[in-house]
């Protein structure tokens, strides 16, 4: 190991929780990957997790809407994260809205042990209601980044994920086949699928 690698590895930083949230297509996974790539350049040990339920693109990778990928471990419940060895300097979690209510406690445990925890997930479901453990995580996070997509109806910043098919169950995996990002006005005033911009 070189001197500079040693310096980076031994610099024990304080743990923290970073939350990246927003609507679908707002760039949450890309932003997560950007932060993780910077950590990898610093030779930090990174471990990425996602909920097993998210089989949308791949079982062992996180995947952005523009097909960037990074390998990950898929797990059934958030407490599984604590069973892995704890010498990672950075732990990342994507699609965190699908995890259970233990996730804030798990993230706090990791952060208190000196680990940087970066979590990405939807803050709201298709009804505009808080989604899973994300709101509770936002409350205890050191840093929260809320991203916006482009509204497909009018081009304004989009904070909602409008669902135009698939019924009313909260969880429905999908992308442009079922969802489109919308601004507040278009979300509340138009109830059918948009023609694209
Ligand atoms: N309406 C839209 N607004 C913003 N980005 C969009 C839109 N439709 C497709 N995209 C693509 O989605 C990418 C973001 O993907 P991703 O990081 O996976 O988002 P998220 O994880 O928030 O769903 C953008 O860089 C862009 O290429
Ligand atoms: C709004 C909403 C979304 N989902 C699903 C749809 C996708 O599979 C993911 C979100 O993925 P992204 O990376 O943020 O684009 O969540 C859902 O199950 N229920 C919803 O209300
Ligand atoms: Zn709009």
Residuewise pLDDT in 10s, the chain (197 residues): 455 454 444 445 689 999 999 999 999 999 999 999 999 999 999 999 999 999 888 889 999 999 999 999 999 999 999 998 778 899 999 999 999 999 999 999 999 999 999 999 999 999 999 999 999 999 999 999 999 999 999 999 999 999 999 999 999 999 999 999 999 999 999 998 997 66
Alpha carbon of 159 to ligand 1 centroid (Å):
12
> How would you label 147-160 residue by residue, b for 16+ Cβ within 10 Å and e otherwise?
bbbbbbbeeeebbb
Instruction: Give the residue, out of 174, 182, 187, with the most ligand 2 atoms within 8 A of its beta carbon, to mutate for a pocket test.
Output: 174
Are the C-beta atoms of 181 and 172 separated by less than 8 Å? Answer: no
pTM, entire model:
0.94
Q: What CATH number has the domain spanning 12-147?
A: 3.40.50.300
Ligand 2: nearest atom to the Cα of 124: 1
Are the C-beta atoms of 121 and 21 separated by less than 8 Å? Answer: yes
State the catalytic residues.
95
Ligand 1 pocket (Cβ < 6 Å) reads 22, 24-30, 64-66, 149-150, 152, 181
Alpha helices in 11-44 (DSSP H): 28-41
Q: Give the residue numbers of the binding site for substrate.
A: 171-174, 179
Determine if residue 27 is left, alpha or beta; phi over 0 gives left, psi from -120 to 50 gives alpha, anything else beta.
left
Ligand 2: nearest atom to the Cα of 122: 14
Please tell me the residue having the least CA distance from ligand 2 atom 15. 24
Instruction: Enumerate residues 6+ apart whose C-beta is below 8 A from 155.
Output: 197
Q: Under DSSP, is residue 170 helix (H, G, I), strand (E, B) or coil?
A: coil
Alpha carbon of 183 to ligand 3 centroid (Å):
4
């Amino acid at each position: 190991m070189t001197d500079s690698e040693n310096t980076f590895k031994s610099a024990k930083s304080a743990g923290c929780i970073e939350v990246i949230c927003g609507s679908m297509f707002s760039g949450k996974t890309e932003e997560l990957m950007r932060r993780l790539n910077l950590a990898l350049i610093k030779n930090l040990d990174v471990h990425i997790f996602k909920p097993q339920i998210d089989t949308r693109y791949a079982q062992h990778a996180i995947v952005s809407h523009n097909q960037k990928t990074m390998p990950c471990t898929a797990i059934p419940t958030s407490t599984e994260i604590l069973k892995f060895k704890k010498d990672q300097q950075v732990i990342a979690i994507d699609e965190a809205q699908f995890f259970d209510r233990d996730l804030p406690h798990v993230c706090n445990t990791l952060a208190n042990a000196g680990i940087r925890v970066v979590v990405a997930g939807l803050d709201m479901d298709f009804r505009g209601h808080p989604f899973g453990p994300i709101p509770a995580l936002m409350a205890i996070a050191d840093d929260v980044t809320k991203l916006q997509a482009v509204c497909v109806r009018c081009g304004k910043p989009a904070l909602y994920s409008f669902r135009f098919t698939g019924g009313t169950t909260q969880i429905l995996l999908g992308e442009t086949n079922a969802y489109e990002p919308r601004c507040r006005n278009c979300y509340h005033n138009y109830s059918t699928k948009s023609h694209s911009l």
